Structure 1
Amino acid sequence: MQMIPRAPLFLGLAGLLPFLWGALTVVLPDLGLWTVQTIGPRFAGPYVMLFYGAVILSFMSGVLWGFATRATGTMASICYGLSVIPALWAFFMTGGGPTSAGTSLIFGFAGLLALDWQFWRWGLTPPWWMALRVLLTAVVIGCLAVGVLL
């Protein structure tokens, strides 16, 4: 794995802000209350993490689809098929309340990391891809765990 270029690193870290904010509003109930009163309930606690998590899983399906364009033949078909799994997971698995949805998203992001690794192993991603994805996924799963467990 190589060093992550600055732009993807900074943009990836910025993409963690809704997860970090959601976890912070769970850990600090007064901040959660302020957020609900000032911005709205959708931007506090597990709700911001659940909504944003579903969005990000769908976004990552698009990223994997882009990597699939680098494959050919049967491998391309396999990659396109695999690339839609995160979006379908988010769509079908995030109902049933915040604890169930949060748990499903944790498994969704773990599964996404496995797909990231496979696409990386096949040489379809930049060489630094896994360094970025492991970092981001660890933070996302940690934040979602705060929402599920607290």
Structure 2
Amino acid sequence: MRSIPAAPLALGLAGLLPFLWGAACVLWPDLAMWTARAVGPRFAGPYVQLSYGTVILAFMSGVLWGFATKAEGRQAAVGYALSVIPALWAFFMVGAGPVSAAMNLIFGFLGLLLLDWQFARWGLAPRWWMTLRVLLTAVVVLCLLPVAFG
């Protein structure tokens, strides 16, 4: 963890807050009710996780696209094609009900981790990238489990 620069680590950890808050609201219904009254129902329970998770998968497509710009030729073309998968996954697979959406987000984030690994393997991501991505993905998946299997 010491190899991860402070800014990406801090921002990555801060980005976990909606997932952690959503999991807490699922596990403690009184917190969900308080949240719904205080700031609105879309910030409580699985709703905050599912909408934010969809946004993050799309955002990560942009990150991968940025990595692909470092490649050339066939590798660049493959990198660009792979980079759009998380956004397309979120668009087509996250919807329906909360259980299905949470399961599809779990699969989406695990698939994203494989894409992260590939871009790192190609030397297109920073050396510390996989350390950060494994940590963030593990927390996201753990936070989505109560919705998927609640």
Q: Say yes or no: TM over 0.5.
A: yes
Partner of 1:8: 8
Alignment map for 1:1-150 (pairs within 5 Å): 3-150=3-150
Given the two structures, how large is their TM-score scaled by the length of structure 1? 0.98
Structure 2 unaligned spans of 5+: none
Q: Which runs of 4+ in 1 moved over 3 A?
A: none
**What is the aligned-residue identity percentage?**
69
Q: Using the alignment, how far apart are the partners of 1:125 and 1:11 within structure 2?
A: 17
Contact 1:64 1:83 in 2 (8 A): yes
Q: SS state of the match for residue 96, structure 2?
A: coil
Question: What are the superposed Cα offsets for residues 71-113 of structure 1, whole Å, 9 maximum, x if unpaired?
Answer: 0001000000000000000000011110000000000000000
Q: Using the alignment, how far apart are the partners of 1:149 and 1:38 within structure 2?
A: 27
Q: SS state of the match for residue 52, structure 1?
A: helix
Q: SS state of the match for residue 127, structure 2?
A: coil
Matched residues, number: 150
Q: Which has the higher contact order (CA 8 A, sep 6+)?
A: 1
What RMSD in Å do the two structures reach over aligned CA positions?
1.1
Given the two structures, how large is their TM-score scaled by the length of structure 2? 0.98
